[in-house]
Amino acid sequence: MQIDHRELNEVRSAQGKEKVQAPGLSIGVRQLIKRFGERQVLHGLDLDIAAGEFIAIVGRSGCGKSTLLRLLAGLDTASSGGILLDGQPAEVLKDDVRMMFQDARLLPWRTVIQNIAIGLDGSQREIRERALEVLGQVGLADRADEWPSRLSGGQRQRVALARALIHRPRLLLLDEPLGALDALTRIEMQRLIESIWKQHRFTALLVTHDVSEAVALGDRIVLVEDGRITLDEAVALARPREHGEALFAQRESRVLKRLMTVEAINNRNQIRGRISEIVVDSVLSEVRILTASGLVTSTVLTRSLSEQPLEIGAEVLATFKSNEVVLAT
Amino acid sequence: MSQKSTLLNRLRGALIPWLLPVAILAAWEIAARVGWLSSRILPEPFAVLKAGVALAATGELWQHVKVSSLRALTGFAIGGGLGLLLGLLTGSFRKVEIALDTTLQMIRNIPPLALIPLVILWFGIDEMAKLFLISLGVFFSVYINTFHGIRSVDPALIEMGRSYGLTGWSLYREVILPGALASILVGVRYALGFMWVILIVAETISAQAGIGYMTMNAREFLQTDVVLLGILLYAVLGKLADVAARLLERHWLKWNNSYSAA
């Protein structure tokens, strides 16, 4: 394995900066713990990722998935435990890791092409050539000299992707980069990321709260719950995966259900009961749930009710936020 | 057809703001000529113009404008330069902020003009005194806005820069300075305005040349037209400085939608 890499590196240096792609990095996460003051976010997390794999990490907000990514990117340091990239401490290969953030984080005072060239050394002409090449890969070659403020949200993320790609990363970290995009643009971007990943064969880690995105892109889906991995399963569907397909939908609903069950294990701020009545209105509907301690009324968006229909008599779990609880005497 | 009408519209748009000033000038001229206004109180605009032409012809006017402008710009360069430097230092390094900022904030609360008696004692009524006052007046608006600008650079962008391999000076040049520039320029613009205010006061105390000297001299001889000319010159110079600052904003902040030319 080691020898293979060395040979490849020799080939790379022999051909200058030719198109030989660096293979993906393998990742080993061992007993990773991260605390922010009193609060512990990661509780001894273990994770192994093979070189070139595409991992989708799902979980509720605040579960620690973004923290894991930031630790991998070297943006934060772990409280204890370690991260190995290709068997070496993470700092050694820091330059082979690139991150795509939730917002594009383009410098507004630099043009698109200057943003992509950030942190690169070399002659102006060579940099421009390479920047134009990656811009072409994300389909924005004609916008090279514009200001980022003239671009749409999806286009900005494309530029951010190009900015990461120009460094030929061996590990690309994606921290919910598509979260703020509309549904159509999001699917477009998923296709783009997938095709670029196929072409470059880097290791990819995508954090997302969208299960269907995880199923569309991940070789494996990893569920992080309360700072631990509670589900890690391979997705053996052929690529490109169609959102409408039966197998796709089946997988998606399984992961979703699992996500819900894990939630149910947490017994704080929850009341179990049976739906007794559903009052449908144009925007907000009311679902009345009969519980052991009386009738509970939950207000639900009519839209989400039509997406996930409920039936009278079904057993449900009503959860409420801790900050909505008022204790009266 | 449509092109013609847009041209007309633009012409109209450019002219309308000037209607009122022209009307006021006309009314003033008439009032002075008819004799409602004594020329000792307020000479008619035409007389001011004539005084200007006469002084310009002898070269005296340019001499005074030159002296005043040089004075203002030198003071601005010293005070603004120091403000920028210290603002960058306190903005970038916590330790410098802790060491310096409290002192500077205390000094800031003293109006520079309140220092005039002290300044005269220190420097006499020489050029030094005027430069000191102008530098001091200009210093704080540049300092505070630079400090604030550096501190309000989006930390997400700094983090991005770091994770893309920018460190030290390159991070400063690519991310922090451009991010602070809008705020720094606000400080510069404000400082330019204040620069003229201080200059006027400093020149009326005592001067051997400059616009202030010219007007104070003219007052002794009851040449109200020259006094008025001096006031107008200050206004024009102030406006010019503002236009220059605006051009800088437009050039350096052209990436920002709110500054780019329409």
Task: Give the tens place of pLDDT for each residue, A154-182.
Answer: 999 999 999 999 999 999 999 999 988 88
The band of A263, judged by pLDDT with boundaries at 50, 70 and 90, is low
Instruction: State whether A105 and B175 contact (CB < 8 Å).
Output: no
Residue after which a domain boundary falls, among A213, A247, A263: A263
Note the pLDDT of residue B70: 92
The band of A18, judged by pLDDT with boundaries at 50, 70 and 90, is very low
Q: Pick the residue with more confidence: A317 or A40?
A: A40
Chain B CB within 8 Å of residue A99 CB: yes
Note the pLDDT of residue A16: 42
Position A1 in a domain = no
The answer to whether A204 touches A174, Cβ cutoff 8 Å, is yes
DSSP H helices, chain A, are 2-14, 65-73, 112-116, 124-137, 153-165, 183-200, 211-217, 246-265, 302-307
Is pLDDT of A246 > 60?
A: yes
What is the rounded CA–CA span in Å between residue A90 and residue A121? 23
Is pLDDT of A37 > 70?
A: yes
Is pLDDT of A234 > 60?
A: yes
Chain B CB within 8 Å of residue A163 CB: yes
Instruction: State whether A95 and B165 contact (CB < 8 Å).
Output: yes
The answer to whether A66 touches A205, Cβ cutoff 8 Å, is no
Note the pLDDT of residue A91: 82
What's the average model confidence in pLDDT over A271-279? 84
Task: Give the tens place of pLDDT for each residue, B119-171.
Answer: 888 888 788 888 999 999 999 999 999 999 999 999 999 999 988 888 889 99
Is pLDDT of A261 > 90?
A: no
CA Rg value for chain B: 23
The band of A13, judged by pLDDT with boundaries at 50, 70 and 90, is very low
Q: Pick the residue with more confidence: A59 or A19?
A: A59
Position A11 in a domain = no
Position A14 in a domain = no
The band of A328, judged by pLDDT with boundaries at 50, 70 and 90, is low
Q: How many domains does chain A have?
A: 2
Note the pLDDT of residue A325: 67
Residues of B in contact with A105 (CB under 8 A): 156-157, 159-160
Is pLDDT of B106 > 60?
A: yes
The band of B201, judged by pLDDT with boundaries at 50, 70 and 90, is confident
Q: Do A257 and A279 reside in the same domain of the chain?
A: no
CATH assignment at residue A318: 2.40.50.100
Note the pLDDT of residue A14: 42
What's the average model confidence in pLDDT over B64-78? 92
In angstroms, the separation between the Cα of residue B161 and the nearest Cα of chain A is: 8
Chain B CB within 8 Å of residue A122 CB: no
Note the pLDDT of residue A12: 43
Note the pLDDT of residue B187: 94
Note the pLDDT of residue A256: 85
Note the pLDDT of residue B156: 93
Q: Do A319 and A181 reside in the same domain of the chain?
A: no
Is pLDDT of A1 > 70?
A: no
Q: How far is CA A133 from CA A51, A101, A123, A129, in A?
A: 25, 22, 16, 6
Q: Do A310 and A165 reside in the same domain of the chain?
A: no
Instruction: State whether B161 and A73 contact (CB < 8 Å).
Output: no
Containing domain of residue A36, as a range?
Answer: 19-263
- Residue ranges of domains in chain B: 1-37, 44-252
Q: Do A296 and A167 reside in the same domain of the chain?
A: no
Chain A CB within 8 Å of residue B169 CB: no
Q: Do A259 and A284 reside in the same domain of the chain?
A: no
Chain B CB within 8 Å of residue A43 CB: no
The answer to whether A154 touches A181, Cβ cutoff 8 Å, is yes
Q: Do A71 and A170 reside in the same domain of the chain?
A: yes
Q: Pick the residue with more confidence: A159 or B38?
A: A159
pTM value? 0.73
Q: Which of residues 243-262 of B touch A (CB under 8 A)?
A: 253, 255-257
What's the average model confidence in pLDDT over B78-87? 95
Give the DSSP letter of residue A150.
G
CATH assignment at residue A27: 3.40.50.300
Tell me the average pLDDT of chain A.
84
Contacts across the A-B interface (CB distance below 8 Å): 48
Residues of A in contact with B166 (CB under 8 A): 118-119
What torsion do the CA atoms of A34, A40, A45, A51 make, to the nearest 10 degrees?
A: -40
Instruction: State whether B166 and A119 contact (CB < 8 Å).
Output: yes
What is the rounded CA–CA span in Å between residue B194 and residue B187? 10
Instruction: State whether A103 and B179 contact (CB < 8 Å).
Output: no
Q: Do A119 and A256 reside in the same domain of the chain?
A: yes
Is pLDDT of A89 > 90?
A: no
* Percent of chain A whose pLDDT exceeds 70: 88
Instruction: State whether A118 and B163 contact (CB < 8 Å).
Output: no
Chain B CB within 8 Å of residue A146 CB: no
State whether the Cα torsion A271-A273-A275-A276 is positive or negative. Answer: negative
Tokens of A9: 């590196």
Note the pLDDT of residue A159: 95
Chain B CB within 8 Å of residue A105 CB: yes
In angstroms, the separation between the Cα of residue A235 and the nearest Cα of chain B is: 31
Chain B CB within 8 Å of residue A65 CB: no
The CATH code belonging to domain B44-252 is 1.10.3720.10
Instruction: State whether B178 and A119 contact (CB < 8 Å).
Output: no
The band of A8, judged by pLDDT with boundaries at 50, 70 and 90, is very low
* Percent of chain A whose pLDDT exceeds 90: 38
Instruction: State whether B174 and A107 contact (CB < 8 Å).
Output: yes
Position A12 in a domain = no
What is the rounded CA–CA span in Å between residue A271 and residue A275? 12
In angstroms, the separation between the Cα of residue B192 and the nearest Cα of chain A is: 25
Is pLDDT of B182 > 70?
A: yes
Residues of A in contact with B178 (CB under 8 A): 107, 109-110
Position A248 in a domain = yes
- Taken as a whole, chain A contains a residue count of 329
Chain A CB within 8 Å of residue B159 CB: yes
Q: Do A281 and A147 reside in the same domain of the chain?
A: no
Q: Do A60 and A173 reside in the same domain of the chain?
A: yes
Is pLDDT of A17 > 60?
A: no
Q: Do A254 and A143 reside in the same domain of the chain?
A: yes
Task: Give the tens place of pLDDT for each residue, B202-256.
Answer: 888 777 888 888 888 888 888 888 888 888 888 888 889 889 988 988 888 888 8
Note the pLDDT of residue A98: 92
Residues of A in contact with B170 (CB under 8 A): 119
Instruction: State whether A147 and B164 contact (CB < 8 Å).
Output: no
Q: For the ranges A277-286, A298-307, B155-164, which has the lowest average pLDDT?
A: A298-307
Q: Do A137 and A52 reside in the same domain of the chain?
A: yes
Is pLDDT of A209 > 90?
A: no
Chain B's closest residue to A96, CA to CA, is B164
What's the average model confidence in pLDDT over A142-149? 92
Crossing angle for the helix pair B224-252 and B60-92, nearest 10 degrees? 40
Q: Do A292 and A256 reside in the same domain of the chain?
A: no
Residue after which a domain boundary falls, among A219, A248, A263: A263
